[in-house]
Amino acid sequence: MPRPSLGLVLPATTQGELAPTRGSTKGDTGGARGLAELCRRAEHAGADSLWAVDHLYWPHPIAEPMTTLAVAATMTTTPTLGTCVLQLPLRTPDAVAKQATALQLLSEGRFVLGLGVGSHEPEYRRAGADFSRRGRSMDEGLAALRRAWRMPDTAGRAETGDRAGDDYVQAPPSARVPLWFGGSSSAARRRAAAEGDGWVPLFLAPDEYREALEALRLESAHAGRARDAVEAAVVVFACVGDDAEAPRQGAAWLSQLYRLPPKAFHRHLVAGSPDACAASLQRYADAGARHIIVMVAASPAVEHFALLRAAFTGRPERSLAGVTA
């Protein structure tokens, strides 16, 4: 069985991620130069994919994912780039379709549009969106994405009844944008099984992931698709460090980010020495994950990822010294 790809969730901001430069004592605080360096370092560290998180409103500073990935597209050459995951019900689908096409062109075919509905009702209220109908909004948004990506044809004219507007299209077109769906709920999994190119859940232990993945495969078959039609991915929190201290430190880091008690993350956090973390990731691989996406619960993220990757792949750690944009 081939080794799963190992991806990295880019830090929400570059604050604290890079060494101070040009006489500064604070390091980079979010400029394009710092983000570019971060992406280059992540590629050099061996990340097979780079992912950007999404929140329109959040208690802490957080970067906009499509803008982040535009920088990543121009500063890297090999990693897959994706949103992990974009909350489509909070966006205008036609605008998302245009952004996704642009990123697919900028990245020369490396972009994946990861989509989800989110789980934070206050964010929906702040955005003026209806949290109670987020699933229906997602389905409506998916239909709108496909309409925006479709070139004018007879079916499109019949559906819209607007022959005069047929010369207004989203162009230039790109290669097809893969759609991956986040979420560990049964509804999210069924959506991925019926319509997705990939499934990328969070908050599942390896045994839970194995069971859910088998359910996904059955649901794919019931939808008339091949059992393995959907790429099997998973997001894993990780903190590399001392076996005794890393679990506490990682849980505290996640607690601050999500404003939840540290104990909420204990069963979902891979923590300890690089070898211990690698062994935990292998459990997800054994459960069927073909893409493991690591969200490092520590800083600097790329350095932690490099240690984990070396242990997981059995390859020497790559030195990051001197790697800049």
Q: Tell me what pLDDT residue 25 has.
A: 42
Structure tokens that stand for 178 in this block: 């893969």
Rounded-to-10 torsion of CA 154, 159, 163, 165: -120
DSSP structure class, residue 254: H
Sequence-distant (≥ 6) Cβ neighbours of residue 173 within 8 angstroms: 101, 149, 151
- Nearest alpha-carbon partner for 181 in 112, 104, 130: 112
> Residue holding tokens 């045994």?
207
Cα 225 from Cα 232, distance rounded (Å): 15
pLDDT block averages, 10 residues each, the chain of length 325: 93 84 51 94 98 96 96 98 98 97 98 97 97 97 95 52 69 95 97 98 97 98 98 98 95 94 94 97 98 97 97 82 56
Give the angle 311-317-320 at the CA atoms, nearest 5°.
Answer: 140
Domain architecture of the chain: domains with CATH: 5-313 (3.20.20.30)
- Outline where DSSP puts E strands in the chain: 5-9, 49-52, 80-83, 86-87, 111-116, 179-182, 198-200, 231-240, 269-272, 291-296
Report yes or no: 182 and 188 within 8 Å, Cβ to Cβ. yes
**Which residue in the block uniquely carries the two structure tokens 């990757």?**
309
Residues near 93 by Cβ (< 8 Å), separated by ≥ 6?
Answer: 140, 141, 142, 144, 145, 148
DSSP 226: -
* pTM (two decimals): 0.92
Q: Which amino acid is at 235?
A: V
**Omega prior to 300 cis, within 30 of 0:** yes
> Distance between the two ends of the chain, CA-based, in angstroms?
35
Q: Which residues of 299-310 are buried (b: 16+ CB within 10 A; e: fewer)?
A: ebbbbbbbbbbb
- Which of 198, 258, 269, 264 shows the shortest CA–CA distance to 234? 198
